[in-house]
A and B are shown apart, each in its own frame.
Chain A
């Protein structure tokens, strides 16, 4: 547990090993590099960005998926990416930057090949998410929103990811890893760092962060058919219903019941 690193003044002081527990803010992330003008965006990407803009009745609606596509190529939202989107959508670069800095999925520093998010919103935190984050932070030697020096893993505290029935939950490149504990999470990041392919507990083989961003931009990676229909917790109700032979009423049953009720009401009225 992490109580020992809570600060005396009551501030929440969960900090990774090797970092000054007295001042977590002393461990600042790398500054954002906006001087780089090199870009991996080529003509093909520009064509794709235009395709995305053409999907919508009004092209500016394409802003979010276009930023996802830029990340899929550049590994972050780069100044060049912002410039190109602004040109295609005929808006200012400030408009694009304003959007890119609002949403947590857009990264302004180079993101790791694998984005490992530990849910630490109330329920997951209480069920063990805090322990998992602490352990991973220690294993990886990085804190929230930081990337390992080898560029493999970016660790994040994430907010509720709509999988509370599988708490505590880990998201790797936005795929569910359900019902985790500190050991299983550590095993996962070790595999990722060693280049071992892993599979979501109810999804697909986990792809790279850049590839995932490409899917979010609307380009298929042909993995939709991997994984099960649903995880076991999602199936709780249907499983219990099958065991007890419980069903929703049929329209006929509902109609019969309604007719019977009306008849009973009529009798009641007649009295």
Chain B
């Protein structure tokens, strides 16, 4: 990676805790503890600035969305038309991408980081209502969010006349009810309007016609949570971390066959090899086989991508997507057919059913994958899979269909022989499943 960033002015430490800095604190979720670390100072600073300056600051920081698509956050804010309609901020806290597990600990440990980000962002683009759409299956995260919002109202950071500065903001914590598709921004809006969570055709984009047909900004939890640090530190501080076109720090989630799974906040552009070196590597006695850089919807990588800088452009150039920086690691004991089959069962379950190629295609893909997993595949099944993938990808309203075919296409590219072996041998004979299991961590229960 050195040849690409030799001109970088500054080389930060390998780990750069900003959003995660207080995750080791006792009771970090309480407002007093957040304030003790300087929390809500950025909100005071922001409210004294012209709103346009804040939008410009976020543009200057080059922050790109942390929810997967990587769209420049400041530009998104700049798209809102000035048509007199109310504006809304909707925080996408529906984290459900297989492998993604960063927003939930963030909101559980330090919900005020998000709440402060919401207050600053809403003020910046003149929204007086903000919603946190959080998936329903995370009770304790929701409790902490609800309490943080209550605390922030009591302290005058939210509500009417925030901090006596004349700005009003209502924040509503809205629990979903179990649907991956609601992480797709237009499905999320339909869900938030009290409907089945099914995507809308774009355009119009939510910035123009979003919630209740009004201009709406939808940002990921981590994107909004990053805003206070940018206000406090400045654009130059933020851009001192990361690489060209991928500035700042981000939370990376390591899971699977590694010695130490967990969350680690590092400058964008860090490689998997560096992350494994820092955290202790693949589990003892095993080697890396395949991994996802950005959750199950990103094409899989193999050991040959260990030195790919994990930033938006480098990962795209190498044929995948940075996505949500969800690094699911699988070692040589794992059947790629089994993993892909299970991912496809996920997409089949989560397809909202609106578009025929996605609804029907995922169902048929699962049928074929299951027989390949069972060693009952038929000659030509691999070609058939690829053909169906071709008929699903790019043929639906939203990206779920595209995401569903991604694991298949990329896995066949790297491990075609394993799929073909499924014409005669079950995956569990090739890769005995009991060798995958890790019960190494002390099992948690239940006092």
Contacts and interface: CB of A to CB of B under 8 A. Distances in A.
Given A57-B129, A159-B349, A229-B23, A105 B177 contact: yes
B180 interface: yes
Interface of B: 7, 9-10, 12-18, 20-30, 86, 95-101, 103-105, 108-110, 129, 135-140, 142-144, 146-147, 150, 172-180, 191-197, 212, 232-234, 236-237, 240-241, 249, 251, 253-256, 260-266, 278-279, 296, 326, 328, 330, 334, 338-340, 342-343, 346, 349-350, 352, 370-377, 426, 428, 433-434, 436-439, 441-447
B233 A65 contact: no
Nearest to A204: B140
Given A98-B196, A165-B263, A166-B441, 19 more contacts: A1-B434, A127-B437, A131-B437, A164-B98, A174-B136, A176-B138, A177-B445, A178-B441, A180-B443, A212-B139, A215-B143, A216-B136, A216-B177, A236-B263, A246-B15, A246-B17, A249-B241, A254-B233, A258-B10
Contact of B29 (A98, A229, A236, A254): A229
A257 B443 contact: no
B104 A163 contact: yes
B194 A253 contact: no
Given A127-B436, A165-B255, A212-B139, A121 B446 contact: no
B16 A162 contact: no
Given A188-B446, A224-B143, A258 B296 contact: no
B446 A160 contact: no
A71 to B, nearest CB: 10
Nearest to A256: B10
Interface of A: 1, 3, 6-12, 55-58, 60-65, 67-68, 89, 98-99, 102-106, 117, 120-123, 125-128, 130-131, 158-167, 171, 173-181, 183-184, 187-188, 191, 198-204, 212, 215-218, 220-221, 223-225, 227, 229-242, 244, 246-251, 253-255, 257-258, 260-262
A12 B240 CA distance: 51
A175 B177 contact: no
B350 to A, nearest CB: 7
A122 to B, nearest CB: 4
B143 A223 contact: yes
Nearest to B256: A123
5 contacts: A103-B176, A122-B338, A162-B103, A215-B143, A249-B240
Contacts of A183: 443
B194 A127 contact: no
A182 to B, nearest CB: 8
B444 A64 contact: no
A128 B437 contact: yes
A242 B100 contact: no
Contact of A126 (B140, B193, B330): B330
A199 B447 contact: yes
B16 A249 contact: yes
Nearest to B428: A3
A253 B13 CA distance: 12
A198 B233 CA distance: 43
Contacts of B370: 10-12
Contacts of A229: 22-29, 108-110
A164 B96 contact: no
B10 A159 contact: no
Given A160-B99, A260-B9, A105 B178 contact: yes
B277 to A, nearest CB: 11
Contacts of B328: 122-123, 164
A268 B12 CA distance: 23
Contact of A164 (B101, B233, B433): B101
A9 to B, nearest CB: 7
A162 B140 CA distance: 13
Nearest to B407: A122
Nearest to A243: B15
Contact of A122 (B98, B251, B441): B98
A16 B371 CA distance: 21
A175 B140 contact: yes
A203 B139 contact: yes
A159 B12 CA distance: 37
A165 B258 CA distance: 10
A92 B180 CA distance: 26
Given A165-B255, A234-B262, A179 B20 contact: no
Contacts of B443: 179-181, 183-184
A164 B27 contact: no
